[in-house]
Amino acid sequence: MATHEVDLSIIGAGPAGLYAAYYAGFRGLKVALLDSLPEPGGQVAALYPEKLIFDVAGFPAVKGQELIERCVEQAAPYDPVYILNQRAEDLEPHDDGSFTIRTHRGTEVHTKAVVITGGIGTFTPRPLPDAEEFEGRGLVYFVRELETMRDQDVLIVGGGDSACDWALNLEGIAKSITLIHRRDRFRAHEDSVEKLYASSVRVMTFTEVSRILGEDGVERVEVFDNRSDERETLTISKVVAALGFKSDLGPLKSWDVEIDGRHILVDTTMQTNIPGVFAAGDITEYEGKVRLISVGFGEAATAVNNAAVHIDPEARVFPGHSSG
């Protein structure tokens, strides 16, 4: 059984957790960074690595994966211990104010403080009904690399941001792109929807998949108009089901931190109701909360600086400037 002794444990290696790891290193703390996914990056790396992000300070436009690589690079000089592919299951508090975290694989981390950056929890995509046999044989739930769609006839199913973004990003790469959505109202940014209708993507509203056809993988998809039941068979080699995802806080719900719905309540220092346990990023809740990467970065800095004082009461909250 692997054991680690650290000053600070960060639960979740999404953008908030990665920035917390940088900041903790800057404050001289030894860090363990845990994630249930096999790669760092949270929602950004798992759900939209190829999407351009426009609202992170200092980057007029940056692809999700590049932003994550920069965050990993920024934390790297401080050598955080990555404990990936492991879900943090238990948090055991000790009388001296420290904690033991256990993962589902039995790894133990002894830590003086904790920052929970668990985002929306562990997440899994909503499946396309009755299409399991085509998973990995032309049916995917995420487009991790746009190049996998080169010269393909792509069908995108869904009406949210991911569906619209993938449709737009695949222009010029895919041979043809059709997007079907079961309503005529999209859950995506207006700007993306406008761009979608102005693009070469064939948009079919009030349309759903009735069945996928193919011997060795996806070859055709029968779709139907859910008002008239009129059917059409499309020549398709790749289906991207962008139907959203289910998320679950899972074990974090049993950690005695105060939870409101699916979020953890924090004070202005980002501390939870448990002294020494802080939170940052999408998972936090307080009046006026905005769930954005840039907000998560700010909260991570606040959480870590206050955790540093919890670990060493002589330390100052304000760390000084990094520019030295």
Ligand X SMILES: Cc1cc2nc3c(=O)[nH]c(=O)nc-3n(C[C@H](O)[C@H](O)[C@H](O)COP(=O)(O)OP(=O)(O)OC[C@H]3O[C@@H](n4cnc5c(N)ncnc54)[C@H](O)[C@@H]3O)c2cc1C
For ligand X, the binding residues (CB under 6 A) are: 11-17, 34-37, 42-44, 47-48, 53, 55, 87-88, 117-122, 161-162, 250-252, 281-282, 291-294, 296
Nearer to ligand X, 114 or 308 (CB): 114
Nearer to ligand X, 43 or 237 (CB): 43
In sequence order, what DSSP letters do the residues of 293-310 get, joined into one string?
HHHHHHHHHHHHHHHHHH
Nearer to ligand X, 93 or 217 (CB): 93
As measured in angstroms, the least distance from the Cβ of 214 to ligand X is 28
Nearer to ligand X, 44 or 114 (CB): 44
- Burial profile 196-222: b = 16 or more Cβ within 10 angstroms, e = fewer: beebebebbbebebeebebeeebeebe
What whole-number distance in Å separates Cα of residue 277 and Cα of residue 215? 53
As measured in angstroms, the least distance from the Cβ of 215 to ligand X is 33
In the chain, the amino acid numbered 31 is V
Cβ atoms of 20 and 118 within 8 Å: the answer is no
Enumerate the H helices of 27-147 as residue ranges.
Answer: 42-47, 64-75
What whole-number distance in Å separates Cα of residue 96 and Cα of residue 117? 24
Enumerate the H helices of the chain as residue ranges.
Answer: 15-26, 42-47, 64-75, 161-169, 190-198, 293-311
Cβ atoms of 217 and 134 within 8 Å: the answer is yes
Nearer to ligand X, 157 or 234 (CB): 157
In the chain, the amino acid numbered 292 is L
The closest residue (CB) to ligand X is 119
Nearer to ligand X, 71 or 218 (CB): 71
Cβ atoms of 12 and 42 within 8 Å: the answer is yes
- Tokens coding 70: 């920069």
As measured in angstroms, the least distance from the Cβ of 323 to ligand X is 25
What whole-number distance in Å separates Cα of residue 137 and Cα of residue 23? 42
Nearer to ligand X, 212 or 257 (CB): 257
Residue with tokens 């409101």: 260
As measured in angstroms, the least distance from the Cβ of 125 to ligand X is 11
Nearer to ligand X, 7 or 165 (CB): 165
As measured in angstroms, the least distance from the Cβ of 46 to ligand X is 7
Nearer to ligand X, 12 or 276 (CB): 12
As measured in angstroms, the least distance from the Cβ of 220 to ligand X is 28
Cβ atoms of 177 and 171 within 8 Å: the answer is yes
As measured in angstroms, the least distance from the Cβ of 245 to ligand X is 8
As measured in angstroms, the least distance from the Cβ of 82 to ligand X is 11
248 to 160, 251, 271: CA distances (angstroms):
20, 9, 22
As measured in angstroms, the least distance from the Cβ of 193 to ligand X is 14
What whole-number distance in Å separates Cα of residue 193 and Cα of residue 228? 24
